[in-house]
Amino acid sequence: MSRKQFIALIALTLLAAVLSRGYRLFFGRLSPRKWGFIDKTGALVIPVQFDDMARDQYGGRTLYHRAFRNFSEGLCAVRFGKKWGFIDKKGNFVIEPKYDNAGVFSEGLACVRVGSKYGYIDKTGKVMIPMQFDWPSQSKDVSSDNPDLDMTKMLAEPLVFSQGLAVARKGDKCGYMDHTGRVVIEPAFFAAQPFEEGGYASVTTMTGTSLIDKAGKLMDPASHCLGFAQGLFLAFNGIYPTDKRRLFYLTKDGQRPFPQEFLDARVFSEGLAAVAPGPVPPGISSAYGYIDASGTAVIKPQFFIAGNNLAADFVDGRAIVSQSGMLLSVPLSGVIDRTGRWIVRPQYDNISSYSEGLARALINDRWLFLDMDGHEAVQTQARWVNSFSEGLAAVMQ
């Protein structure tokens, strides 16, 4: 790096810090909004009264490729005042707000935090796993008095039970516990995610991101496995500069089912995976298409997919993509089917994955929901909406 480039980098870093601080100071003065719930007719069935709840940040999905949920197993974690509790579908508290944070119910248990420790309760509020595990220390760095800026709620997302196990954090290391709170995979990882399809979980080690099985065995670190779905691992070559980074797929025995490598790729969903073959001319965004499990291109590269758009995975035969464009343009989102045909041509600022037959969409600062045919089925006046879960969608007024 030249001296001029170094000085420019320092200047940009300082500018970003100033802008970030200004953003927080400005929005921190705004009055916090309240939350309620609508049904699939758009009627407000639980009045706007709650101070915060989990936000649908990644297109109807979580960062570990699961459907976003507010309601789960009939209950939803909400904040009332300064504390978190759980409400039923009538809006009544069935577990009183007394926790510093709370997650969703999974396999009959929900993560709750008191101070710097977390454990798990059942749906009656009974403590099933005592508060003996350590909440992520970085929570102080992402907290804010304004809930619109407070990202600590997202730290509960990975702490769900899946395939009988949940993340157990001791100090700054993560392992896994069973339903009794017994640690069955010793804390040895810097970060960990829930177990997924096929019995694998994503963990972070000294060498990067990889996968472990339920016995705690690490997949070949040379493969740098990023995910697993439908019988295939997504892996990369371990090189981080984007011009040299390549992604590819592996079978369970470590073999490549096809030789192609990609500039970017996603795990398989409903038999298809989004890939960006590249290379592309300077200043042009990588074009994504879709391949099947044999590596055959079934939808040619022609779409733009933002890095955090997990809605690009197929759900109910629908995927959310945008038109490819210049690097500085703002692509609009649409919906395609499994042949690449537009069900909804690009016209929305944002569309989330389909959930329970409806997809959240934003256009001209209006939030609404699209049905499976792309029709605007539910209109709202909300400042923000979450995807539907168990027949209800959270709205912020």
pLDDT in tens, 173-209: 999 999 999 999 999 999 999 998 789 998 988 877 8
Provide the residue count of the chain.
397
Query: What does the pLDDT average to over 374-386?
Result: 95
pLDDT at 9: 39
pLDDT at 282: 56
Can you tell me the distance from the alpha carbon of 104 to that of 175, in angstroms, rounded to the nearest whole number?
Answer: 20
pLDDT in tens, 296-333: 999 999 999 877 678 999 999 999 999 855 554 678 99
Are 358 and 20 within 8 A, CB to CB? no
Pairing of the two strands 208-213 and 200-205: antiparallel
pLDDT at 147 over 90: no
Q: What is the distance in angstroms between the CA of the first residue and the CA of the last residue of the chain? A: 48
Pairing of the two strands 109-114 and 101-106: antiparallel
Are 118 and 131 within 8 A, CB to CB? yes
pLDDT at 116 over 70: yes
Angle, CA 259 vertex, CA 254 and CA 264 arms, to 5° = 90
Q: At 315, is the secondary structure helix, strand, or coil?
A: strand
Are 67 and 352 within 8 A, CB to CB? no
Q: How confident is the model at residue 210 (pLDDT cuts 50, 70, 90)?
A: confident
Query: What does the pLDDT average to over 134-158?
Result: 70
pLDDT at 225: 85
pLDDT in tens, 34-84: 999 999 999 999 999 999 999 998 888 887 778 999 999 999 999 999 999
Can you tell me the distance from the alpha carbon of 39 to that of 55, in angstroms, rounded to the nearest whole number?
Answer: 18
pLDDT at 3: 43
Q: How confident is the model at residue 22 (pLDDT cuts 50, 70, 90)?
A: very low
**Better-predicted residue by pLDDT, 244 or 70:** 70
pLDDT at 7: 38
Q: How confident is the model at residue 109 (pLDDT cuts 50, 70, 90)?
A: very high
pLDDT at 12: 40
Are 201 and 176 within 8 A, CB to CB? yes
Are 58 and 313 within 8 A, CB to CB? no
Q: Residue 108 to residues 26, 46, 111: CA-CA distances in angstroms?
A: 41, 24, 11
With a CB cutoff of 8 Å and minimum separation 6, the contacts of 279 are 263
Least confident piece of the model among 135-139, 160-164, 217-221, 286-290:
135-139
Angle, CA 302 vertex, CA 300 and CA 308 arms, to 5° = 115
With a CB cutoff of 8 Å and minimum separation 6, the contacts of 44 are 36, 37, 38, 395
Cis? peptide before 187, omega within 30° of 0: no
Can you tell me the distance from the alpha carbon of 255 to that of 251, in angstroms, rounded to the nearest whole number?
Answer: 5
Q: Residue 341 to residues 316, 319, 335, 345: CA-CA distances in angstroms?
A: 15, 10, 8, 9
pLDDT at 242: 73
pLDDT in tens, 253-271: 889 999 999 999 999 999 9
Q: At 4, is the secondary structure helix, strand, or coil?
A: helix
Share of the chain above pLDDT 90, in %: 66
**Better-predicted residue by pLDDT, 8 or 255:** 255
Pairing of the two strands 35-38 and 127-134: unpaired
Which of 215-219, 220-224, 321-325 is predicted most confidently? 215-219
Can you tell me the distance from the alpha carbon of 327 to that of 7, in angstroms, rounded to the nearest whole number?
Answer: 24
The residue among 232, 234, 227 whose CA lies nearest residue 262 is 234
Q: Output the average pLDDT for the chain.
A: 86
DSSP 227-240: EEETTEEEEE-S--
Can you tell me the distance from the alpha carbon of 314 to that of 335, in angstroms, rounded to the nearest whole number?
Answer: 10
Share of the chain above pLDDT 70, in %: 83
Are 299 and 326 within 8 A, CB to CB? no
pLDDT at 224: 82
